[in-house]
Amino acid sequence: MPSAVAAGKRRRARHVFGPDGRAVIVAMDHPAYLGAGVPAAAVDAVAAAGPDAVLATWHLARSRPEAFAGCGLILRVDGGISDLGEPAGGDTSSLLYRAEEALVLGADAVIVMTFPGTPDEERSLGRLARLVAECERVGLPVVAESIPGGWARTVPWTAENIGRGARIAIELGADAVKTMCPGPVEEFAEVAAACPGPVVALGGPKVNDAAQVVDLARGVVAAGAAGVAFGRNVWGSDDPAGLVARLRAAVHGNP
Protein backbone atom coordinates (compact mmCIF):
# COMPACT_ATOMS: atom_id res chain seq x y z
CA MET A 1 0.00 0.00 0.00
CA PRO A 2 1.44 3.42 -0.91
CA SER A 3 2.49 5.68 1.91
CA ALA A 4 0.44 8.73 2.84
CA VAL A 5 3.24 10.97 1.56
CA ALA A 6 3.26 9.24 -1.84
CA ALA A 7 -0.52 9.41 -2.03
CA GLY A 8 -0.45 13.11 -1.20
CA LYS A 9 2.10 13.74 -3.92
CA ARG A 10 -0.03 11.97 -6.53
CA ARG A 11 -3.11 13.89 -5.45
CA ARG A 12 -1.32 17.24 -5.72
CA ALA A 13 0.05 16.29 -9.14
CA ARG A 14 -3.50 15.63 -10.33
CA HIS A 15 -4.35 19.21 -9.38
CA VAL A 16 -1.88 20.27 -12.09
CA PHE A 17 -2.14 17.55 -14.75
CA GLY A 18 -5.57 16.33 -15.79
CA PRO A 19 -6.72 12.71 -16.14
CA ASP A 20 -5.17 12.67 -19.62
CA GLY A 21 -1.79 13.62 -18.15
CA ARG A 22 -1.82 17.04 -19.79
CA ALA A 23 -1.97 20.57 -18.48
CA VAL A 24 -2.63 24.15 -19.51
CA ILE A 25 -0.56 26.22 -17.09
CA VAL A 26 -0.70 30.02 -17.05
CA ALA A 27 2.57 31.51 -15.76
CA MET A 28 2.12 34.70 -13.75
CA ASP A 29 5.43 34.78 -11.89
CA HIS A 30 6.95 37.53 -14.05
CA PRO A 31 6.46 40.33 -11.47
CA ALA A 32 8.96 38.61 -9.15
CA TYR A 33 11.80 39.71 -11.40
CA LEU A 34 10.41 42.11 -13.99
CA GLY A 35 8.66 44.40 -11.54
CA ALA A 36 5.50 44.84 -13.63
CA GLY A 37 2.41 43.28 -12.12
CA VAL A 38 -0.17 41.17 -13.94
CA PRO A 39 -3.26 43.40 -14.36
CA ALA A 40 -6.05 42.52 -11.93
CA ALA A 41 -8.53 42.21 -14.80
CA ALA A 42 -6.26 39.67 -16.50
CA VAL A 43 -5.95 37.68 -13.26
CA ASP A 44 -9.75 37.58 -12.97
CA ALA A 45 -10.16 36.57 -16.61
CA VAL A 46 -7.62 33.77 -16.38
CA ALA A 47 -9.15 32.48 -13.14
CA ALA A 48 -12.65 32.50 -14.60
CA ALA A 49 -11.49 30.52 -17.65
CA GLY A 50 -10.20 27.68 -15.48
CA PRO A 51 -6.68 26.68 -16.56
CA ASP A 52 -5.39 23.43 -15.13
CA ALA A 53 -2.88 25.35 -13.02
CA VAL A 54 -1.27 28.73 -12.50
CA LEU A 55 2.38 29.45 -11.84
CA ALA A 56 2.38 32.22 -9.28
CA THR A 57 4.48 34.39 -7.02
CA TRP A 58 4.04 34.28 -3.27
CA HIS A 59 2.10 37.56 -3.34
CA LEU A 60 -0.37 36.45 -6.00
CA ALA A 61 -0.99 33.11 -4.29
CA ARG A 62 -1.49 34.76 -0.89
CA SER A 63 -3.57 37.73 -2.03
CA ARG A 64 -5.92 35.92 -4.42
CA PRO A 65 -6.54 32.46 -2.92
CA GLU A 66 -10.21 32.48 -3.91
CA ALA A 67 -9.45 33.26 -7.54
CA PHE A 68 -7.56 30.05 -8.13
CA ALA A 69 -9.36 27.71 -5.76
CA GLY A 70 -10.48 25.63 -8.72
CA CYS A 71 -7.08 24.99 -10.28
CA GLY A 72 -3.63 23.83 -9.31
CA LEU A 73 -1.09 26.20 -7.78
CA ILE A 74 2.59 25.98 -8.75
CA LEU A 75 4.63 28.31 -6.55
CA ARG A 76 7.86 29.92 -7.75
CA VAL A 77 10.28 29.32 -4.87
CA ASP A 78 13.56 30.59 -6.32
CA GLY A 79 14.85 33.93 -7.54
CA GLY A 80 16.25 36.85 -5.62
CA ILE A 81 17.28 39.03 -8.57
CA SER A 82 15.33 41.60 -10.58
CA ASP A 83 15.64 43.87 -13.58
CA LEU A 84 16.52 46.74 -11.22
CA GLY A 85 19.92 45.33 -10.41
CA GLU A 86 23.08 44.62 -12.33
CA PRO A 87 23.56 40.83 -12.43
CA ALA A 88 27.10 39.81 -11.54
CA GLY A 89 27.01 37.07 -14.16
CA GLY A 90 26.31 33.40 -13.80
CA ASP A 91 23.63 31.90 -11.59
CA THR A 92 22.63 34.49 -9.01
CA SER A 93 19.38 32.84 -7.91
CA SER A 94 18.73 31.14 -4.60
CA LEU A 95 15.90 29.30 -2.88
CA LEU A 96 13.55 31.85 -1.37
CA TYR A 97 10.96 29.53 0.19
CA ARG A 98 11.00 26.01 1.60
CA ALA A 99 8.69 23.06 0.99
CA GLU A 100 6.73 23.42 4.22
CA GLU A 101 6.20 27.14 3.59
CA ALA A 102 4.83 26.33 0.14
CA LEU A 103 2.44 23.80 1.64
CA VAL A 104 1.18 26.36 4.15
CA LEU A 105 0.31 28.62 1.22
CA GLY A 106 -1.61 25.77 -0.44
CA ALA A 107 0.83 24.97 -3.25
CA ASP A 108 0.26 21.81 -5.27
CA ALA A 109 3.78 21.97 -6.69
CA VAL A 110 6.87 24.18 -6.63
CA ILE A 111 9.12 25.30 -9.47
CA VAL A 112 12.80 26.26 -9.71
CA MET A 113 15.14 27.22 -12.54
CA THR A 114 17.93 24.91 -13.71
CA PHE A 115 20.73 25.86 -16.10
CA PRO A 116 22.48 22.68 -17.27
CA GLY A 117 25.51 23.38 -19.42
CA THR A 118 26.46 26.72 -17.86
CA PRO A 119 29.93 27.15 -16.30
CA ASP A 120 28.31 27.15 -12.84
CA GLU A 121 25.65 24.53 -13.54
CA GLU A 122 26.36 22.83 -10.21
CA ARG A 123 24.61 25.72 -8.43
CA SER A 124 21.20 25.33 -10.04
CA LEU A 125 21.40 21.54 -10.35
CA GLY A 126 22.40 21.23 -6.72
CA ARG A 127 19.60 23.59 -5.72
CA LEU A 128 17.10 21.40 -7.58
CA ALA A 129 18.40 18.23 -5.94
CA ARG A 130 18.19 19.72 -2.45
CA LEU A 131 14.66 20.95 -3.04
CA VAL A 132 13.62 17.55 -4.42
CA ALA A 133 14.91 15.80 -1.30
CA GLU A 134 13.03 18.26 0.90
CA CYS A 135 9.79 17.99 -1.07
CA GLU A 136 9.95 14.21 -1.21
CA ARG A 137 9.55 14.09 2.56
CA VAL A 138 6.27 16.01 2.46
CA GLY A 139 4.79 14.76 -0.82
CA LEU A 140 5.14 17.98 -2.83
CA PRO A 141 5.80 17.70 -6.59
CA VAL A 142 8.73 19.64 -8.06
CA VAL A 143 8.85 21.21 -11.52
CA ALA A 144 12.23 22.15 -12.99
CA GLU A 145 12.34 25.01 -15.50
CA SER A 146 15.29 23.87 -17.59
CA ILE A 147 17.17 26.43 -19.69
CA PRO A 148 20.23 24.64 -21.15
CA GLY A 149 23.19 26.99 -21.28
CA GLY A 150 21.21 29.65 -19.44
CA TRP A 151 19.74 32.77 -21.00
CA ALA A 152 23.20 33.59 -22.41
CA ARG A 153 22.99 30.39 -24.45
CA THR A 154 26.41 29.06 -23.54
CA VAL A 155 25.20 25.94 -25.34
CA PRO A 156 22.91 26.12 -28.39
CA TRP A 157 19.17 25.66 -27.84
CA THR A 158 18.97 22.61 -30.07
CA ALA A 159 16.44 19.82 -29.60
CA GLU A 160 19.24 17.55 -28.43
CA ASN A 161 20.49 19.96 -25.77
CA ILE A 162 16.99 20.90 -24.60
CA GLY A 163 16.10 17.23 -24.31
CA ARG A 164 19.31 16.45 -22.42
CA GLY A 165 18.62 19.30 -20.01
CA ALA A 166 15.10 18.03 -19.40
CA ARG A 167 16.34 14.51 -18.75
CA ILE A 168 18.99 15.74 -16.31
CA ALA A 169 16.28 17.50 -14.31
CA ILE A 170 14.16 14.34 -14.14
CA GLU A 171 17.18 12.23 -13.18
CA LEU A 172 17.83 14.63 -10.29
CA GLY A 173 14.28 14.03 -9.07
CA ALA A 174 12.04 16.63 -10.71
CA ASP A 175 8.53 15.35 -11.32
CA ALA A 176 8.00 17.46 -14.45
CA VAL A 177 9.95 19.88 -16.63
CA LYS A 178 9.11 23.21 -18.20
CA THR A 179 11.36 24.11 -21.14
CA MET A 180 11.42 25.84 -24.50
CA CYS A 181 10.49 24.58 -27.95
CA PRO A 182 13.72 24.32 -29.98
CA GLY A 183 12.23 25.82 -33.14
CA PRO A 184 9.76 24.06 -35.44
CA VAL A 185 7.18 22.34 -33.23
CA GLU A 186 7.98 18.98 -34.80
CA GLU A 187 11.39 19.11 -33.14
CA PHE A 188 9.74 18.98 -29.71
CA ALA A 189 9.29 15.26 -30.36
CA GLU A 190 13.03 14.80 -29.75
CA VAL A 191 12.76 16.71 -26.47
CA ALA A 192 9.79 14.65 -25.29
CA ALA A 193 11.46 11.38 -26.31
CA ALA A 194 14.59 12.26 -24.33
CA CYS A 195 12.69 13.15 -21.15
CA PRO A 196 11.39 10.24 -19.01
CA GLY A 197 8.90 12.53 -17.26
CA PRO A 198 6.21 14.98 -18.38
CA VAL A 199 7.56 18.04 -20.14
CA VAL A 200 5.61 21.21 -20.90
CA ALA A 201 6.58 23.93 -23.35
CA LEU A 202 7.04 27.53 -22.27
CA GLY A 203 5.61 30.32 -24.37
CA GLY A 204 8.63 32.43 -25.20
CA PRO A 205 8.54 36.08 -26.33
CA LYS A 206 5.28 38.02 -26.53
CA VAL A 207 3.40 37.70 -29.81
CA ASN A 208 0.22 39.49 -30.83
CA ASP A 209 -1.41 36.66 -32.76
CA ALA A 210 -3.57 34.41 -30.55
CA ALA A 211 -3.85 31.84 -33.33
CA GLN A 212 -0.06 31.50 -33.31
CA VAL A 213 -0.13 30.82 -29.56
CA VAL A 214 -2.81 28.14 -29.99
CA ASP A 215 -0.97 26.58 -32.93
CA LEU A 216 2.19 26.31 -30.82
CA ALA A 217 0.27 24.54 -28.06
CA ARG A 218 -1.40 22.16 -30.49
CA GLY A 219 1.88 21.44 -32.24
CA VAL A 220 3.99 20.65 -29.17
CA VAL A 221 1.28 18.40 -27.73
CA ALA A 222 1.09 16.53 -31.04
CA ALA A 223 4.88 16.13 -30.77
CA GLY A 224 4.64 14.58 -27.30
CA ALA A 225 4.50 17.47 -24.83
CA ALA A 226 2.38 17.08 -21.70
CA GLY A 227 1.04 20.58 -22.21
CA VAL A 228 2.08 24.20 -22.09
CA ALA A 229 3.09 26.82 -19.54
CA PHE A 230 2.37 30.13 -21.25
CA GLY A 231 2.62 33.50 -19.53
CA ARG A 232 2.37 36.96 -21.07
CA ASN A 233 0.99 35.50 -24.30
CA VAL A 234 -2.09 34.56 -22.26
CA TRP A 235 -2.58 37.17 -19.55
CA GLY A 236 -1.20 39.88 -21.83
CA SER A 237 -3.59 39.06 -24.66
CA ASP A 238 -6.72 41.00 -25.56
CA ASP A 239 -8.91 38.10 -24.43
CA PRO A 240 -7.19 36.01 -21.71
CA ALA A 241 -10.30 33.98 -20.90
CA GLY A 242 -11.00 33.14 -24.51
CA LEU A 243 -7.39 32.18 -25.11
CA VAL A 244 -7.34 29.87 -22.08
CA ALA A 245 -10.43 28.13 -23.45
CA ARG A 246 -8.78 27.71 -26.85
CA LEU A 247 -5.61 26.37 -25.24
CA ARG A 248 -7.62 23.86 -23.21
CA ALA A 249 -9.19 22.60 -26.44
CA ALA A 250 -5.79 22.39 -28.15
CA VAL A 251 -4.06 20.61 -25.27
CA HIS A 252 -6.83 18.32 -24.06
CA GLY A 253 -8.42 17.68 -27.42
CA ASN A 254 -11.81 19.08 -26.44
CA PRO A 255 -14.16 20.24 -29.21
The pLDDT tens digits along the chain (255 residues) read: 468 999 999 999 999 999 999 999 999 997 767 666 788 999 999 999 999 999 999 999 999 998 889 999 999 999 877 767 666 667 878 999 999 999 999 999 999 999 999 999 999 999 999 999 999 999 999 999 999 999 888 899 999 999 999 999 999 999 999 999 998 999 999 999 999 999 999 998 788 899 999 999 999 999 999 999 999 999 999 999 999 999 999 999 964
pTM, to two decimals = 0.94
pLDDT of res. 10? 95
Phi, psi of 4 (to 5 degrees): -60, -35
Asked if 159 contacts 187 with a C-beta cutoff of 8 angstroms, the reply is: yes
d(CA 159, CA 165): 10
d(CA 229, CA 61): 17
d(CA 37, CA 34): 8
**Could you report the per-residue pLDDT of 149-190, keeping only the tens digit for each?**
998 888 999 999 999 999 999 999 999 999 999 989 999 999
pLDDT of res. 86? 64
Distance set, CA 182 to CA 188, 202, 216 (Å): 7, 11, 12
Please count the CA atoms within 13 angstroms of the CA of 93 that sit on its side-chain side: 27
Q: Give bridge partners of residue 202 from the DSSP assignment.
A: 229
Fold exhibited by the domain 4-252: TIM Barrel (3.20.20)
d(CA 17, CA 14): 5
pLDDT of res. 1? 45
Asked if 224 contacts 218 with a C-beta cutoff of 8 angstroms, the reply is: no
Phi, psi of 20 (to 5 degrees): -85, 0
Question: What would the DSSP string read from start to end of 196-241?
Answer: SS-EEEE--S--S-HHHHHHHHHHHHHTT--EEEE-HHHHTSS-HH
| Angle of the 240-252 helix axis to the 210-222 helix axis, nearest 10 | 20
Asked if 195 contacts 170 with a C-beta cutoff of 8 angstroms, the reply is: yes
Asked if 202 contacts 174 with a C-beta cutoff of 8 angstroms, the reply is: no
**Is 142 strand, coil or helix?**
strand
* Amino acid making up residue 163: G
Q: Give the angle subtended at the CA of 131 by the CAs of 129 and 136, to the nearest 5°.
A: 95
pLDDT of res. 185? 94
d(CA 39, CA 103): 26
